[in-house]
A and B are shown apart, each in its own frame.
Chain A
Amino acid sequence: MSLALPLAQTRLAVDWAWIERNAGYIQDQFREHVLLTVLPVTFGFIIAAVLGFFAVRWPGLYTPLLTLTGILFTIPSLALFVLLIAFTGLSIWTAVIPLTVYTLLILLRNVVEGFRGVPRDVRDAATAMGYSGAKRILTVDLPLALPVLFAGIRIATVTTIGLVSVSSLVGQGGLGQLFLDGFYRSFPTPLYVGLALSVVFAVTADLLLLWLQRALTPWTRR
């Protein structure tokens, strides 16, 4: 167990010149990080919506589906990324597929709970007013489920932003490449930059989604 080595002050400080010289590289990695977040959350939501639809229709499916996604969730991200190399090589899918899998547990639970939370009376009233299956789901159930759906999307997005960096070990990783850079050279500046941008991105994405949710569900604010 080694304790902190006496480090020169300059080694800990932020090297602003490095940031300036590498602005383009940082920007590219950031853009990749955004892509590696948006794709998995989008795919995850589509899959969770389909699975959630079946789970609401046939409630017996819900527990097995949750158990399955729960088990997938315990597989360490690092391992899943590495395993995918065998199938996808070092392409972007090596990162996107595992990240999608990890969003499923969070999203599926929220899709199902969201739709189950729609009051029976409301649903019955809609049916009585002549709304049929798909139309009722889209215009009555969906809007009422939105707050819970968005809660899931927000958690999934923030969690994914944190996980993306691990895929740097399989050649993807967005800002995670900055982490590797800093680690291999024992030079903290790229780590500071990567961590700061990652947190800023997560907070911004969370606020944007919250704003979108509020805009879509004006009746929740009174």
Chain B
Amino acid sequence: MELLFDVASWLSDPVQWDGSNAIYVRIGQHLWYTTTAVLVALIVALPIGLAVGHTGRGEAFAVNVANIGRAIPSFGIILLFVVLAGIGFVPVLIALTLFAIPPILTNTYTGISGVDRQLRDAAYGLGMRRLQVLTQVEIPVAMPLIMAGIRTSSVQVVATATLAAFPGLGGLGRYIINGLSVQNYPQVIAGALLVAVLALLVEGLLALLQRTVVPIGLQHTRVARR
């Protein structure tokens, strides 16, 4: 209980809300790492997922890339890139992007390839072209799954971006790393709380976004996340 009180007083201390290390600055850095990584991952993974799902070619490739991506320890990759390229935003961004890719890739490709055959045939029967079938039928139908992938990926990256602080970058991880080195546990807990709240906020925002991009008729489809 006393610890919780310390956490609350750490969070409400005006010192934490002022200057270049203020909490909102750290949140900004954290979001900056996260959004760039997820956006780059989207640029890479969406086209591949759509192509694989639509053509049915390269499924084994997509599955393996996603599995190996999950197997690579983020911590090791971040440190390796920093050792190889020096501390900076780019090595960390590449590492975070690698982790953002698998859920988006798997979900996109599973979503598209899982579209009902009859629906696809009907679309072709109506005279749609391949690209039209993809953009007007397959993508909308697969949207719940694609969005689930983006949500999983974003939440994971918010959590993983904490590690960026270890080799010397900013973000909310700074509170945890600095707290660890001076055994300031209230600060560590406050940092962890902020990351968790941020992850939940990101998840909530994306859930709202999902409502606007998923066709109304498909909104109640239950989706198992991968």
Q: What residues of chain A have their CB less than 8 Å away from a CB belonging to chain B? A: 1-5, 7, 12, 71, 73-80, 82-83, 86, 109, 113, 155, 158-159, 161-166, 168-169, 175-176, 179-180, 182-183, 186-188, 191-192, 194-195, 198-199, 202-203, 206
| 6 intermolecular pairs with C-beta atoms under 8 Å apart | A3-B85, A164-B73, A179-B73, A179-B79, A202-B71, A203-B68
Known: A75-B196, A76-B159, A202-B71. 7 other contacts (CB 8 A): A74-B195, A75-B195, A76-B176, A162-B70, A162-B73, A175-B76, A203-B67
Q: Closest CB of chain A to B114's CB: distance in Å?
A: 16
Complex Cα–Cα for A55 and B83 (A):
47
Q: Is B90 in contact with chain A by the CB < 8 A criterion?
A: yes
User: B196 to chain A: which residues have CB within 8 Å?
Assistant: 71, 74-76
Complex Cα–Cα for A25 and B105 (A):
37
Which secondary structure dominates where chain B touches chain A? Answer: helix
B162 touches A159 (CB 8 A): no
Contacts A2-B88, A74-B195, A83-B189 hold; do A199 and B72 have CB atoms under 8 A apart?
Answer: yes
Q: Is B179 in contact with chain A by the CB < 8 A criterion?
A: yes
Q: Closest CB of chain B to A147's CB: distance in Å?
A: 13
Complex Cα–Cα for A203 and B144 (A):
29
User: A175 to chain B: which residues have CB within 8 Å?
Assistant: 73, 76
Q: Mark B107-118, 1 if CB is under 8 A from A, else 0.
A: 000000000000
Q: Closest CB of chain B to A109's CB: distance in Å?
A: 8
User: B159 to chain A: which residues have CB within 8 Å?
Assistant: 73-77
Chain B residue at minimum C-beta to C-beta distance from A182: B83
Q: Closest CB of chain A to B167's CB: distance in Å?
A: 7
- Those 7 A-B pairs whose CB atoms lie nearest each other, nearest first: A79-B192, A202-B71, A74-B199, A76-B162, A183-B79, A2-B88, A191-B80
Complex Cα–Cα for A121 and B76 (A):
49
Which of A82, A155, A179, A194 touches B188 (beta carbons < 8 Å)?
A82
Q: Is B86 in contact with chain A by the CB < 8 A criterion?
A: yes
Q: Mark B148-179, 1 if CB is under 8 A from A, else 0.
A: 00000001001110110011000001001101
Which of B67, B73, B85, B166 touches A195 (beta carbons < 8 Å)?
B73
Chain B residue at minimum C-beta to C-beta distance from A163: B73
Q: Closest CB of chain A to B205's CB: distance in Å?
A: 14
User: B17 to chain A: which residues have CB within 8 Å?
Assistant: none
Q: Is B60 in contact with chain A by the CB < 8 A criterion?
A: no
Q: Mark B214-226, 1 if CB is under 8 A from A, else 0.
A: 0000000000111
B163 touches A176 (CB 8 A): no
Count of residues in B whose CB is under 8 Å from the partner chain: 48
Q: Closest CB of chain A to B221's CB: distance in Å?
A: 15
User: A164 to chain B: which residues have CB within 8 Å?
Assistant: 73
A5 touches B162 (CB 8 A): no
User: A187 to chain B: which residues have CB within 8 Å?
Assistant: 83
Q: Mark B182-208, 1 if CB is under 8 A from A, else 0.
A: 000100110110011001100100000
B83 touches A78 (CB 8 A): no
Complex Cα–Cα for A191 and B79 (A):
8
Complex Cα–Cα for A190 and B83 (A):
11
B79 touches A79 (CB 8 A): no
Contacts A1-B90, A4-B86, A74-B200 hold; do A79 and B188 have CB atoms under 8 A apart?
Answer: yes
Q: Which of B75, B89, B180 has the most CB of A within 10 A?
A: B75
